[in-house]
A = this chain, B = another copy of it.
Amino acid sequence: METTPIQMADQPEAERCDAVRNRALLLDAAAALVAERGADAVTMDAVAAKAGVGKGTVFRRFGSRSGLMQALLDHTEQELQHAFMYGPPPLGPGAEPIDRLVAFGRARIALVDLSGDTLRAVEDSPELRFGSAPRQVSLTHVAMLLRAAGTEGDIPLLAHSLLAPLEASLVMHQIRAMHMPIERIADAWEDLVRRVTESPAGH
């Protein structure tokens, strides 16, 4: 997963590159801690030790543990976000809205399979669970696709209802505790989307 450099005009080029590398290094360390020992193991101290830098560096970069967790979520979701906003169809622009919605859920389920521990760690934080920027982007994306498909009804709440079964904690429960193949979970998502959007208008 790559980190998109943010242009900061008041920084020299070399310093900017160091900052970007440093940030990626710290986020990789945090993600590794989540995977190895769970979200509770992600403290500012542990991330500094893992990345081989001073604790002050972690604080300067992220401000607080909550800021670090938020940045970790952005890092984890960035590739998916980029793919559904700018990538090739059917996930990106160019495909039919319903096919894009199906592809969005399938990609999200695959991301949970890959980085579920990190995603779930963020869901476990009450202030980030529903308020995070990536969740807002996903909600906006789903609502946009529903409207583009001509779906009627309470679109904001329908977007909530469609995102709810894609939550990392539920999908991980289905994969790990219920031993469901992710293909089955992805097929059930497609079935749900088609039911919701193909329903006769004005039922």
Contact = CB atoms under 8 A, between A and B. Distances in A.
A60 interface: no
A161 B154 contact: no
A188 B161 contact: yes
A170 B130 contact: yes
A126 B189 CA distance: 23
Interface in A106-156: 124, 126, 129-131, 153-154
Interface in A148-203: 153-154, 157-158, 160-161, 164-165, 167, 169-170, 173-174, 177, 180, 184-185, 187-189, 191-192, 194-196, 198-200, 203
Contacts of A174: 157, 160
Tier of interface size on chain A: 20 to 34
25 contacts: A124-B124, A124-B126, A129-B173, A130-B170, A131-B177, A153-B191, A154-B184, A157-B174, A157-B180, A157-B184, A157-B185, A160-B165, A160-B170, A160-B174, A161-B164, A161-B165, A161-B189, A164-B170, A195-B196, A195-B199, A195-B203, A196-B199, A198-B200, A199-B199, A200-B200
Interface of A: 124, 126, 129-131, 153-154, 157-158, 160-161, 164-165, 167, 169-170, 173-174, 177, 180, 184-185, 187-189, 191-192, 194-196, 198-200, 203
Given A196-B199, A198-B203, 6 more contacts: A129-B169, A129-B173, A130-B170, A161-B192, A194-B203, A198-B200
